[in-house]
Structure 1
Amino acid sequence: MSPAPPPPSDAPLEPGLYVVSTPIGNLRDLTFRALDVLTACDLVLAEDTRVTSKLLTAYGLSKKMQRYDDHIGEQARPAILKRLAEGGRIALVSDAGTPLVSDPGYRLVQAALEQGAAVIPIPGASALLGALAGAGLPTDRFLFAGFPPPKSGPRRAQFEELTSVRASLVFYETGPRLRDSLTDMLAVFGAREAAVCRELTKKFETFVRGPLDALVADPALEAPRGEIVVVVAPGREEAASEADADRALTEALSRLSPGDAAGEVAKALGLPRRALYKRALALRNDG
Protein backbone atom coordinates (compact mmCIF):
# COMPACT_ATOMS: atom_id res chain seq x y z
CA MET A 1 0.00 0.00 0.00
CA SER A 2 1.51 3.31 -1.04
CA PRO A 3 1.84 6.05 1.59
CA ALA A 4 -0.73 8.83 1.63
CA PRO A 5 0.39 12.20 0.30
CA PRO A 6 1.29 14.77 2.92
CA PRO A 7 -1.60 17.02 4.00
CA PRO A 8 -1.65 20.62 2.79
CA SER A 9 0.63 22.87 4.79
CA ASP A 10 -1.13 24.88 7.47
CA ALA A 11 1.85 27.22 7.95
CA PRO A 12 1.10 30.78 6.82
CA LEU A 13 2.72 31.79 3.56
CA GLU A 14 5.39 34.39 4.20
CA PRO A 15 5.46 37.59 2.10
CA GLY A 16 7.63 37.48 -0.99
CA LEU A 17 7.93 36.54 -4.64
CA TYR A 18 7.59 32.80 -5.18
CA VAL A 19 9.14 31.49 -8.43
CA VAL A 20 6.96 28.43 -8.95
CA SER A 21 7.74 25.56 -11.32
CA THR A 22 4.69 24.13 -13.08
CA PRO A 23 4.22 20.91 -15.11
CA ILE A 24 5.69 20.78 -18.62
CA GLY A 25 2.96 18.39 -19.76
CA ASN A 26 1.83 15.90 -17.15
CA LEU A 27 -0.33 17.76 -14.62
CA ARG A 28 0.64 15.28 -11.90
CA ASP A 29 4.17 16.76 -11.91
CA LEU A 30 3.04 19.75 -9.84
CA THR A 31 4.76 19.44 -6.45
CA PHE A 32 2.93 19.52 -3.13
CA ARG A 33 4.90 22.62 -2.17
CA ALA A 34 3.94 24.40 -5.40
CA LEU A 35 0.32 23.54 -4.70
CA ASP A 36 0.62 25.02 -1.21
CA VAL A 37 1.98 28.27 -2.63
CA LEU A 38 -0.62 28.53 -5.38
CA THR A 39 -3.35 27.88 -2.82
CA ALA A 40 -2.21 30.53 -0.34
CA CYS A 41 -0.76 33.30 -2.50
CA ASP A 42 -2.52 36.63 -3.09
CA LEU A 43 -1.74 36.88 -6.80
CA VAL A 44 -0.47 34.64 -9.60
CA LEU A 45 1.67 36.27 -12.30
CA ALA A 46 1.24 34.17 -15.43
CA GLU A 47 2.93 34.23 -18.81
CA ASP A 48 -0.46 33.34 -20.32
CA THR A 49 -3.41 33.48 -17.92
CA ARG A 50 -5.43 31.10 -20.12
CA VAL A 51 -2.79 28.37 -19.77
CA THR A 52 -2.38 28.89 -16.03
CA SER A 53 -6.16 28.97 -15.54
CA LYS A 54 -6.37 25.40 -16.85
CA LEU A 55 -3.73 24.29 -14.34
CA LEU A 56 -5.44 26.00 -11.43
CA THR A 57 -8.84 24.61 -12.44
CA ALA A 58 -7.41 21.08 -12.55
CA TYR A 59 -6.49 21.48 -8.88
CA GLY A 60 -9.74 23.17 -7.88
CA LEU A 61 -8.18 26.61 -7.39
CA SER A 62 -9.59 30.00 -8.29
CA LYS A 63 -7.00 32.76 -7.93
CA LYS A 64 -6.53 36.34 -8.93
CA MET A 65 -4.20 36.32 -11.94
CA GLN A 66 -2.28 38.93 -13.87
CA ARG A 67 -0.42 38.60 -17.14
CA TYR A 68 3.33 39.01 -16.86
CA ASP A 69 5.60 38.50 -19.87
CA ASP A 70 8.40 40.23 -21.73
CA HIS A 71 5.99 42.47 -23.64
CA ILE A 72 4.36 44.14 -20.62
CA GLY A 73 6.96 43.44 -17.93
CA GLU A 74 8.39 46.94 -17.75
CA GLN A 75 4.92 48.46 -17.50
CA ALA A 76 3.67 45.94 -14.92
CA ARG A 77 6.70 45.79 -12.59
CA PRO A 78 6.16 49.00 -10.56
CA ALA A 79 2.74 47.91 -9.28
CA ILE A 80 4.00 44.40 -8.57
CA LEU A 81 7.00 45.73 -6.64
CA LYS A 82 4.72 48.04 -4.65
CA ARG A 83 2.56 45.10 -3.71
CA LEU A 84 5.63 43.13 -2.60
CA ALA A 85 6.79 46.08 -0.51
CA GLU A 86 3.39 46.08 1.22
CA GLY A 87 3.79 42.42 2.20
CA GLY A 88 2.20 40.73 -0.80
CA ARG A 89 2.60 37.03 -1.46
CA ILE A 90 3.00 36.67 -5.20
CA ALA A 91 3.56 33.53 -7.29
CA LEU A 92 5.35 33.85 -10.63
CA VAL A 93 4.72 31.02 -13.10
CA SER A 94 5.48 30.45 -16.78
CA ASP A 95 3.34 28.43 -19.17
CA ALA A 96 5.34 25.30 -18.36
CA GLY A 97 8.40 24.37 -16.35
CA THR A 98 10.63 26.60 -14.27
CA PRO A 99 10.28 30.38 -14.74
CA LEU A 100 13.34 32.33 -15.92
CA VAL A 101 14.66 29.34 -17.95
CA SER A 102 14.03 30.75 -21.46
CA ASP A 103 10.96 32.40 -19.94
CA PRO A 104 10.12 35.85 -18.49
CA GLY A 105 10.95 36.84 -14.94
CA TYR A 106 14.63 37.67 -14.57
CA ARG A 107 14.15 41.43 -14.38
CA LEU A 108 11.32 41.10 -11.88
CA VAL A 109 13.43 38.86 -9.62
CA GLN A 110 16.33 41.28 -9.90
CA ALA A 111 14.14 44.28 -9.02
CA ALA A 112 12.49 42.44 -6.13
CA LEU A 113 15.86 41.58 -4.63
CA GLU A 114 17.10 45.15 -5.07
CA GLN A 115 14.21 46.48 -3.00
CA GLY A 116 14.74 43.87 -0.29
CA ALA A 117 11.84 41.52 -1.01
CA ALA A 118 12.23 37.80 -0.39
CA VAL A 119 12.52 35.65 -3.53
CA ILE A 120 11.70 31.99 -2.90
CA PRO A 121 12.26 29.35 -5.63
CA ILE A 122 9.81 26.45 -5.69
CA PRO A 123 11.60 23.79 -7.78
CA GLY A 124 9.81 21.30 -9.96
CA ALA A 125 9.43 20.17 -13.55
CA SER A 126 12.02 21.30 -16.10
CA ALA A 127 12.35 20.29 -19.75
CA LEU A 128 16.08 20.99 -19.50
CA LEU A 129 16.64 18.49 -16.67
CA GLY A 130 14.17 15.97 -18.05
CA ALA A 131 16.02 15.88 -21.37
CA LEU A 132 19.40 15.47 -19.67
CA ALA A 133 18.06 12.61 -17.57
CA GLY A 134 16.81 10.68 -20.60
CA ALA A 135 19.32 11.59 -23.32
CA GLY A 136 21.95 9.05 -22.31
CA LEU A 137 24.76 11.61 -22.61
CA PRO A 138 27.19 12.95 -19.97
CA THR A 139 25.49 14.96 -17.24
CA ASP A 140 28.43 15.82 -14.97
CA ARG A 141 28.80 19.11 -16.84
CA PHE A 142 26.35 20.78 -19.19
CA LEU A 143 25.70 24.16 -20.77
CA PHE A 144 22.18 25.38 -21.46
CA ALA A 145 22.15 27.56 -24.59
CA GLY A 146 18.41 28.23 -24.93
CA PHE A 147 16.88 28.68 -28.38
CA PRO A 148 19.43 28.99 -31.23
CA PRO A 149 18.98 31.96 -33.59
CA PRO A 150 16.36 31.31 -36.29
CA LYS A 151 18.68 32.04 -39.25
CA SER A 152 21.53 29.77 -40.29
CA GLY A 153 24.36 32.33 -40.26
CA PRO A 154 23.90 33.55 -36.68
CA ARG A 155 23.00 30.02 -35.60
CA ARG A 156 26.27 28.59 -36.89
CA ALA A 157 28.15 31.46 -35.33
CA GLN A 158 26.62 30.58 -31.96
CA PHE A 159 27.48 26.91 -32.40
CA GLU A 160 31.06 27.79 -33.32
CA GLU A 161 31.41 29.66 -30.03
CA LEU A 162 30.48 26.44 -28.25
CA THR A 163 32.77 23.99 -30.06
CA SER A 164 35.45 24.10 -27.36
CA VAL A 165 33.03 23.64 -24.44
CA ARG A 166 33.79 20.32 -22.73
CA ALA A 167 30.25 19.76 -21.55
CA SER A 168 26.99 18.48 -22.95
CA LEU A 169 25.15 21.23 -24.81
CA VAL A 170 21.41 21.68 -24.35
CA PHE A 171 19.20 23.64 -26.75
CA TYR A 172 15.47 24.30 -27.04
CA GLU A 173 14.13 24.22 -30.59
CA THR A 174 10.87 24.34 -32.54
CA GLY A 175 9.63 21.61 -34.85
CA PRO A 176 9.74 23.65 -38.09
CA ARG A 177 13.36 24.69 -37.45
CA LEU A 178 14.65 21.37 -36.08
CA ARG A 179 16.03 19.90 -39.31
CA ASP A 180 17.89 23.09 -40.26
CA SER A 181 19.26 23.42 -36.74
CA LEU A 182 20.48 19.80 -36.69
CA THR A 183 22.11 20.34 -40.09
CA ASP A 184 24.02 23.35 -38.77
CA MET A 185 25.02 21.43 -35.65
CA LEU A 186 26.44 18.66 -37.85
CA ALA A 187 28.37 21.19 -39.93
CA VAL A 188 29.93 22.81 -36.87
CA PHE A 189 30.17 20.01 -34.28
CA GLY A 190 30.72 17.08 -36.62
CA ALA A 191 29.00 13.75 -36.03
CA ARG A 192 28.80 14.02 -32.24
CA GLU A 193 26.33 11.87 -30.36
CA ALA A 194 23.09 13.71 -29.66
CA ALA A 195 19.49 13.23 -28.60
CA VAL A 196 16.27 14.88 -29.77
CA CYS A 197 13.81 14.86 -26.86
CA ARG A 198 10.22 15.68 -27.76
CA GLU A 199 6.99 16.17 -25.79
CA LEU A 200 8.62 15.36 -22.45
CA THR A 201 6.24 13.95 -19.80
CA LYS A 202 3.38 13.86 -22.33
CA LYS A 203 1.59 10.95 -24.00
CA PHE A 204 3.80 11.00 -27.11
CA GLU A 205 7.13 11.55 -25.33
CA THR A 206 9.98 10.39 -27.59
CA PHE A 207 13.76 10.27 -27.48
CA VAL A 208 15.67 9.87 -30.75
CA ARG A 209 19.33 9.20 -30.02
CA GLY A 210 22.33 8.84 -32.34
CA PRO A 211 25.12 10.73 -34.10
CA LEU A 212 24.12 14.06 -35.60
CA ASP A 213 24.52 12.81 -39.17
CA ALA A 214 21.96 10.06 -38.48
CA LEU A 215 19.58 12.51 -36.85
CA VAL A 216 19.81 14.87 -39.82
CA ALA A 217 18.87 11.99 -42.14
CA ASP A 218 16.02 10.69 -39.96
CA PRO A 219 12.69 11.37 -41.75
CA ALA A 220 10.86 11.39 -38.41
CA LEU A 221 12.71 14.60 -37.53
CA GLU A 222 11.77 16.54 -40.64
CA ALA A 223 9.32 18.84 -38.83
CA PRO A 224 7.99 17.11 -35.71
CA ARG A 225 5.28 18.69 -33.62
CA GLY A 226 5.56 19.62 -29.99
CA GLU A 227 8.16 21.01 -27.62
CA ILE A 228 11.71 19.89 -28.39
CA VAL A 229 15.00 19.75 -26.49
CA VAL A 230 18.25 18.83 -28.25
CA VAL A 231 21.20 17.53 -26.23
CA VAL A 232 24.62 17.32 -27.92
CA ALA A 233 27.53 15.38 -26.44
CA PRO A 234 30.68 17.24 -25.36
CA GLY A 235 33.52 17.76 -27.81
CA ARG A 236 36.12 15.04 -27.65
CA GLU A 237 39.49 15.52 -26.03
CA GLU A 238 41.17 13.09 -28.44
CA ALA A 239 42.07 14.05 -31.97
CA ALA A 240 39.48 13.35 -34.62
CA SER A 241 40.18 10.41 -36.94
CA GLU A 242 40.73 10.63 -40.69
CA ALA A 243 37.27 9.14 -41.17
CA ASP A 244 35.77 11.89 -38.99
CA ALA A 245 37.62 14.53 -40.99
CA ASP A 246 36.53 13.04 -44.32
CA ARG A 247 32.91 12.84 -43.21
CA ALA A 248 32.92 16.45 -42.01
CA LEU A 249 34.74 17.67 -45.14
CA THR A 250 32.34 15.85 -47.46
CA GLU A 251 29.38 17.52 -45.80
CA ALA A 252 31.05 20.93 -45.81
CA LEU A 253 32.06 20.61 -49.48
CA SER A 254 28.39 20.26 -50.39
CA ARG A 255 27.99 23.88 -49.29
CA LEU A 256 31.41 25.54 -49.39
CA SER A 257 34.58 25.94 -51.38
CA PRO A 258 37.53 23.68 -50.41
CA GLY A 259 39.21 26.53 -48.55
CA ASP A 260 36.13 27.49 -46.58
CA ALA A 261 35.29 23.83 -45.92
CA ALA A 262 38.80 23.24 -44.57
CA GLY A 263 38.52 26.28 -42.32
CA GLU A 264 35.14 25.19 -40.93
CA VAL A 265 36.26 21.61 -40.24
CA ALA A 266 39.56 22.75 -38.75
CA LYS A 267 37.68 24.87 -36.24
CA ALA A 268 35.17 22.13 -35.45
CA LEU A 269 37.64 19.24 -35.08
CA GLY A 270 40.78 21.04 -33.97
CA LEU A 271 42.84 19.77 -36.94
CA PRO A 272 45.40 21.65 -39.10
CA ARG A 273 43.72 23.67 -41.80
CA ARG A 274 46.50 23.16 -44.39
CA ALA A 275 46.21 19.38 -44.25
CA LEU A 276 42.44 19.58 -44.38
CA TYR A 277 42.60 21.84 -47.42
CA LYS A 278 44.71 19.29 -49.32
CA ARG A 279 42.30 16.56 -48.34
CA ALA A 280 39.32 18.70 -49.39
CA LEU A 281 40.82 19.18 -52.85
CA ALA A 282 41.37 15.43 -53.15
CA LEU A 283 37.80 14.65 -52.07
CA ARG A 284 36.41 17.17 -54.53
CA ASN A 285 38.45 15.73 -57.38
CA ASP A 286 37.49 12.19 -56.46
CA GLY A 287 33.86 13.21 -56.42
Structure 2
Amino acid sequence: MTDLTLNDGRTMPQLGMGTFKIPDAHVAAIVRRGLDIGYRLVDTAAIYNNERGVGDGYKGADAFLTTKLWNDRHRDAEAALDESLALLGVEAVDLYLIHWPVPAAGDHVEAWKSVVALREAGKAKSIGVSNFLPEHLDAIIDATGVAPAVNQIELHPNFQQRALRDYHADKGIVTQSWSPLGQGGPLLKDPVIAGIAEKHGRSAAQVVIAWHLAHGLSVIPKAADAEHLSDNFASSDLTLDTEDMAAIDGLDREDGRIGPDPATF
Protein backbone atom coordinates (compact mmCIF):
# COMPACT_ATOMS: atom_id res chain seq x y z
CA MET A 1 0.00 0.00 0.00
CA THR A 2 1.41 3.38 -1.06
CA ASP A 3 2.03 6.16 1.46
CA LEU A 4 1.87 9.86 0.62
CA THR A 5 4.30 12.33 2.21
CA LEU A 6 2.63 15.29 3.91
CA ASN A 7 4.06 18.81 4.03
CA ASP A 8 4.83 18.37 7.75
CA GLY A 9 7.15 15.44 6.99
CA ARG A 10 4.78 12.70 8.13
CA THR A 11 3.29 10.05 5.87
CA MET A 12 -0.31 8.99 5.30
CA PRO A 13 -1.68 5.86 3.60
CA GLN A 14 -3.06 6.76 0.17
CA LEU A 15 -6.10 4.46 0.37
CA GLY A 16 -8.37 4.50 3.40
CA MET A 17 -11.84 3.60 4.53
CA GLY A 18 -14.60 6.15 5.05
CA THR A 19 -17.28 5.71 7.70
CA PHE A 20 -19.86 8.36 6.72
CA LYS A 21 -23.44 7.19 7.48
CA ILE A 22 -22.29 3.93 9.11
CA PRO A 23 -24.19 3.84 12.44
CA ASP A 24 -22.24 3.82 15.68
CA ALA A 25 -23.68 0.42 16.62
CA HIS A 26 -22.32 -1.21 13.45
CA VAL A 27 -19.16 0.69 12.60
CA ALA A 28 -16.81 -1.11 15.04
CA ALA A 29 -17.22 -4.41 13.20
CA ILE A 30 -16.71 -2.69 9.83
CA VAL A 31 -13.54 -0.95 11.03
CA ARG A 32 -12.13 -4.19 12.45
CA ARG A 33 -12.87 -6.00 9.20
CA GLY A 34 -11.25 -3.24 7.17
CA LEU A 35 -8.11 -3.34 9.30
CA ASP A 36 -8.00 -7.14 8.92
CA ILE A 37 -8.21 -6.76 5.13
CA GLY A 38 -5.26 -4.37 5.17
CA TYR A 39 -6.61 -0.82 5.34
CA ARG A 40 -4.33 1.47 7.37
CA LEU A 41 -6.39 4.68 7.31
CA VAL A 42 -9.77 5.18 9.00
CA ASP A 43 -11.73 8.39 8.46
CA THR A 44 -14.53 9.64 10.70
CA ALA A 45 -15.92 12.98 11.93
CA ALA A 46 -17.74 14.38 14.93
CA ILE A 47 -20.87 14.97 12.85
CA TYR A 48 -20.98 11.28 11.83
CA ASN A 49 -21.97 10.40 15.42
CA ASN A 50 -19.95 7.19 15.23
CA GLU A 51 -16.61 8.10 16.82
CA ARG A 52 -17.19 5.80 19.79
CA GLY A 53 -17.80 2.83 17.50
CA VAL A 54 -14.87 3.74 15.28
CA GLY A 55 -12.69 3.89 18.38
CA ASP A 56 -13.91 0.47 19.51
CA GLY A 57 -13.04 -1.02 16.14
CA TYR A 58 -9.72 0.83 15.91
CA LYS A 59 -8.56 -0.05 19.44
CA GLY A 60 -4.95 -1.23 19.45
CA ALA A 61 -4.50 -0.81 15.70
CA ASP A 62 -1.37 0.50 14.02
CA ALA A 63 -3.29 2.67 11.59
CA PHE A 64 -3.84 6.31 10.63
CA LEU A 65 -6.92 7.87 12.27
CA THR A 66 -8.69 11.02 11.06
CA THR A 67 -11.56 12.98 12.59
CA LYS A 68 -13.02 16.43 11.96
CA LEU A 69 -14.17 19.61 13.67
CA TRP A 70 -17.82 20.41 12.99
CA ASN A 71 -19.14 23.80 11.93
CA ASP A 72 -20.63 24.91 15.25
CA ARG A 73 -17.33 24.40 17.12
CA HIS A 74 -14.99 26.70 15.17
CA ARG A 75 -14.44 28.85 18.27
CA ASP A 76 -14.32 25.85 20.59
CA ALA A 77 -11.89 23.57 18.78
CA GLU A 78 -9.88 22.36 21.78
CA ALA A 79 -12.96 21.19 23.70
CA ALA A 80 -14.38 19.65 20.53
CA LEU A 81 -11.22 17.65 19.89
CA ASP A 82 -11.06 16.56 23.54
CA GLU A 83 -14.59 15.18 23.15
CA SER A 84 -13.60 13.34 19.97
CA LEU A 85 -10.48 11.90 21.59
CA ALA A 86 -12.53 10.63 24.54
CA LEU A 87 -15.02 8.93 22.23
CA LEU A 88 -12.27 7.46 20.05
CA GLY A 89 -10.30 6.29 23.09
CA VAL A 90 -7.01 7.78 21.94
CA GLU A 91 -4.67 10.50 23.22
CA ALA A 92 -4.16 12.02 19.77
CA VAL A 93 -5.44 11.63 16.22
CA ASP A 94 -3.17 11.35 13.22
CA LEU A 95 -5.11 14.00 11.31
CA TYR A 96 -7.59 16.63 12.49
CA LEU A 97 -9.56 18.49 9.83
CA ILE A 98 -11.81 21.54 9.88
CA HIS A 99 -14.83 19.98 8.21
CA TRP A 100 -16.17 23.03 6.32
CA PRO A 101 -15.02 26.67 6.09
CA VAL A 102 -18.53 28.13 6.64
CA PRO A 103 -17.44 31.50 5.20
CA ALA A 104 -20.69 33.25 6.18
CA ALA A 105 -19.79 32.75 9.85
CA GLY A 106 -16.28 34.08 9.31
CA ASP A 107 -14.63 31.89 11.96
CA HIS A 108 -12.49 29.60 9.82
CA VAL A 109 -9.29 31.60 10.36
CA GLU A 110 -9.72 31.52 14.15
CA ALA A 111 -10.54 27.80 13.92
CA TRP A 112 -7.33 27.19 11.98
CA LYS A 113 -5.27 29.09 14.56
CA SER A 114 -6.78 26.80 17.23
CA VAL A 115 -6.08 23.67 15.20
CA VAL A 116 -2.46 24.76 14.72
CA ALA A 117 -2.19 25.10 18.51
CA LEU A 118 -3.69 21.62 18.95
CA ARG A 119 -0.96 20.19 16.75
CA GLU A 120 1.65 21.99 18.83
CA ALA A 121 0.04 20.55 21.96
CA GLY A 122 0.34 17.03 20.54
CA LYS A 123 -3.37 16.28 20.33
CA ALA A 124 -3.30 16.09 16.53
CA LYS A 125 -0.18 14.83 14.81
CA SER A 126 -1.09 16.42 11.48
CA ILE A 127 -3.73 19.01 10.65
CA GLY A 128 -5.75 19.95 7.62
CA VAL A 129 -9.07 21.05 6.27
CA SER A 130 -11.98 19.75 4.25
CA ASN A 131 -14.00 21.50 1.55
CA PHE A 132 -11.84 24.64 1.58
CA LEU A 133 -11.63 26.70 -1.61
CA PRO A 134 -8.50 28.68 -2.60
CA GLU A 135 -9.77 31.89 -1.00
CA HIS A 136 -10.32 30.06 2.31
CA LEU A 137 -6.91 28.43 2.09
CA ASP A 138 -5.22 31.75 1.30
CA ALA A 139 -6.85 33.32 4.36
CA ILE A 140 -5.69 30.67 6.84
CA ILE A 141 -2.19 30.39 5.38
CA ASP A 142 -1.72 34.15 5.35
CA ALA A 143 -2.89 34.39 8.97
CA THR A 144 -0.67 31.63 10.35
CA GLY A 145 2.07 30.78 7.86
CA VAL A 146 0.91 27.16 8.15
CA ALA A 147 -0.49 25.34 5.12
CA PRO A 148 -2.86 22.41 5.77
CA ALA A 149 -1.33 18.99 5.20
CA VAL A 150 -4.55 17.78 3.56
CA ASN A 151 -7.67 19.24 1.97
CA GLN A 152 -10.40 16.61 1.78
CA ILE A 153 -12.80 17.56 -1.03
CA GLU A 154 -15.58 16.11 -3.14
CA LEU A 155 -13.78 14.55 -6.08
CA HIS A 156 -14.82 11.89 -8.57
CA PRO A 157 -14.68 11.43 -12.36
CA ASN A 158 -17.72 13.67 -12.90
CA PHE A 159 -16.26 16.42 -10.68
CA GLN A 160 -12.48 16.45 -10.90
CA GLN A 161 -11.59 19.82 -9.32
CA ARG A 162 -8.46 20.28 -11.46
CA ALA A 163 -7.89 23.95 -10.59
CA LEU A 164 -8.11 23.23 -6.88
CA ARG A 165 -5.79 20.25 -7.24
CA ASP A 166 -3.26 22.50 -9.00
CA TYR A 167 -3.50 24.95 -6.10
CA HIS A 168 -2.88 22.10 -3.66
CA ALA A 169 0.15 20.93 -5.62
CA ASP A 170 1.61 24.44 -5.51
CA LYS A 171 1.19 24.59 -1.71
CA GLY A 172 2.27 21.00 -1.00
CA ILE A 173 -1.25 20.06 0.18
CA VAL A 174 -2.42 16.47 -0.33
CA THR A 175 -5.77 16.21 -2.09
CA GLN A 176 -8.02 13.62 -0.46
CA SER A 177 -11.18 12.57 -2.30
CA TRP A 178 -14.50 12.19 -0.52
CA SER A 179 -17.44 10.65 -2.37
CA PRO A 180 -14.79 9.19 -4.72
CA LEU A 181 -17.32 6.90 -6.40
CA GLY A 182 -19.75 9.75 -6.98
CA GLN A 183 -22.13 8.04 -4.55
CA GLY A 184 -22.20 5.05 -6.90
CA GLY A 185 -25.27 4.68 -9.06
CA PRO A 186 -24.98 6.41 -12.44
CA LEU A 187 -21.20 6.85 -12.38
CA LEU A 188 -20.50 3.15 -11.85
CA LYS A 189 -22.90 2.35 -14.69
CA ASP A 190 -21.33 4.87 -17.05
CA PRO A 191 -20.40 3.11 -20.32
CA VAL A 192 -16.81 4.40 -20.11
CA ILE A 193 -16.31 3.02 -16.59
CA ALA A 194 -18.16 -0.19 -17.38
CA GLY A 195 -16.09 -0.75 -20.53
CA ILE A 196 -12.79 -0.31 -18.70
CA ALA A 197 -14.00 -2.62 -15.92
CA GLU A 198 -14.88 -5.30 -18.48
CA LYS A 199 -11.51 -4.83 -20.22
CA HIS A 200 -9.61 -5.54 -16.99
CA GLY A 201 -12.01 -8.06 -15.50
CA ARG A 202 -12.55 -5.80 -12.50
CA SER A 203 -15.46 -4.05 -10.82
CA ALA A 204 -16.47 -0.53 -11.79
CA ALA A 205 -15.66 0.68 -8.26
CA GLN A 206 -12.12 -0.70 -8.52
CA VAL A 207 -11.62 1.16 -11.80
CA VAL A 208 -12.72 4.48 -10.32
CA ILE A 209 -10.60 4.08 -7.17
CA ALA A 210 -7.59 3.05 -9.29
CA TRP A 211 -8.08 6.27 -11.30
CA HIS A 212 -7.85 8.32 -8.08
CA LEU A 213 -4.74 6.45 -6.97
CA ALA A 214 -3.05 6.86 -10.36
CA HIS A 215 -3.55 10.62 -10.10
CA GLY A 216 -1.76 10.62 -6.73
CA LEU A 217 -4.92 11.41 -4.79
CA SER A 218 -5.69 10.02 -1.37
CA VAL A 219 -9.05 8.30 -1.45
CA ILE A 220 -11.46 7.17 1.29
CA PRO A 221 -14.35 5.16 -0.19
CA LYS A 222 -17.06 4.14 2.23
CA ALA A 223 -18.08 0.50 2.47
CA ALA A 224 -20.64 -0.82 4.92
CA ASP A 225 -19.99 -4.55 4.43
CA ALA A 226 -17.06 -6.92 4.05
CA GLU A 227 -17.67 -7.58 0.35
CA HIS A 228 -17.42 -3.92 -0.62
CA LEU A 229 -14.44 -3.38 1.70
CA SER A 230 -12.55 -6.18 -0.05
CA ASP A 231 -13.61 -5.04 -3.50
CA ASN A 232 -12.47 -1.47 -2.89
CA PHE A 233 -9.16 -2.60 -1.40
CA ALA A 234 -8.39 -4.72 -4.47
CA SER A 235 -8.18 -1.53 -6.54
CA SER A 236 -4.69 -0.97 -5.12
CA ASP A 237 -3.20 -3.54 -7.51
CA LEU A 238 -5.10 -2.43 -10.62
CA THR A 239 -3.01 -0.48 -13.14
CA LEU A 240 -4.93 1.57 -15.68
CA ASP A 241 -3.25 2.37 -19.00
CA THR A 242 -2.95 5.77 -20.64
CA GLU A 243 -6.06 5.20 -22.73
CA ASP A 244 -8.10 4.26 -19.65
CA MET A 245 -6.97 7.34 -17.75
CA ALA A 246 -7.71 9.68 -20.66
CA ALA A 247 -11.20 8.20 -21.07
CA ILE A 248 -12.03 8.69 -17.38
CA ASP A 249 -10.48 12.17 -17.40
CA GLY A 250 -12.98 12.99 -20.14
CA LEU A 251 -15.95 12.41 -17.80
CA ASP A 252 -15.46 15.71 -15.94
CA ARG A 253 -18.55 17.95 -15.94
CA GLU A 254 -19.13 21.54 -14.87
CA ASP A 255 -22.36 20.46 -13.14
CA GLY A 256 -20.83 17.37 -11.56
CA ARG A 257 -20.91 18.48 -7.92
CA ILE A 258 -23.16 16.29 -5.77
CA GLY A 259 -22.63 17.72 -2.28
CA PRO A 260 -22.94 21.28 -0.93
CA ASP A 261 -20.99 24.19 -2.38
CA PRO A 262 -18.31 25.26 0.14
CA ALA A 263 -18.76 28.90 -0.91
CA THR A 264 -22.28 28.96 0.48
CA PHE A 265 -22.71 25.97 2.81
Q: TM-score when scaled to structure 1?
A: 0.28
Q: Which has the higher contact order (CA 8 A, sep 6+)?
A: 2
- Rg (Cα) greater in structure: 1
